[in-house]
């Protein structure tokens, strides 16, 4: 038996009503901030929510004795007091050779570090076995810096 025309129209009407209701619920959820504050859309706040974030980058500096650009824990030592720069902020590595640099980013909700450039300030008398500038990806990776005299 074939469905009648009115049964077919009722099915289409029901589907259309469901789609419209889902659209209305989605719009209300987004524009009210409900989805954002529940963490469902953490990188997409509604226009009325002011969001500020922080660009961060972890750095590790070491004395690259064999000049291969890789840190060998058993034979190479860490380097304190190496200065790195991200935007207008600078930071120095501590006695463990590490630092995390932070830069305030107005209006940034997610991946605030992505696209920033980290620069290394080379101390007098030192050379590097790794690049001196890095395009930051926004991932939680530590950038390793190798130095030798």
Structure tokens at 57: 């980058």
Per-residue pLDDT tens digits for 47-106: 888 889 999 999 999 999 999 999 999 999 999 999 999 999 999 999 999 999 999 999
Give the domain 52-148 fold. Immunoglobulin-like (2.60.40)
Q: How far apart are CA 63 and CA 147, in angstroms?
A: 5
C-alpha distance across the termini of the chain, in Å: 89
Per-residue pLDDT tens digits for 14-39: 999 999 999 999 999 888 989 888 98
Residue ranges covered by each domain of the chain: 1-49, 52-148
Structural contact between residues 101 and 145, judged by C-beta atoms closer than 8 angstroms? no
């Amino acid at each position: 038996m074939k469905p009648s025309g009115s049964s077919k129209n009722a099915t289409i009407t029901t589907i259309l009503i469901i789609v419209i209701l889902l659209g209305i619920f989605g719009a209300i959820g987004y524009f009210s901030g409900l989805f954002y504050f529940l963490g469902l859309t953490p990188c997409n706040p509604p226009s009325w929510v002011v969001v500020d974030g922080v660009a961060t980058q972890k750095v590790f500096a070491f004395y690259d004795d064999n000049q291969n650009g890789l840190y060998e824990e058993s034979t190479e030592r860490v380097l304190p007091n190496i200065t790195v720069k991200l935007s207008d902020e600078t930071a120095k590595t501590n006695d463990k050779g590490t630092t995390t640099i932070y830069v305030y980013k107005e209006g940034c909700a997610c991946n605030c570090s992505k696209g920033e450039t980290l620069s290394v300030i080379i101390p007098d008398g030192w050379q590097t076995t790794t690049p001196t500038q890095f395009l930051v990806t926004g991932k939680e990776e530590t950038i390793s810096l190798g130095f030798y005299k």
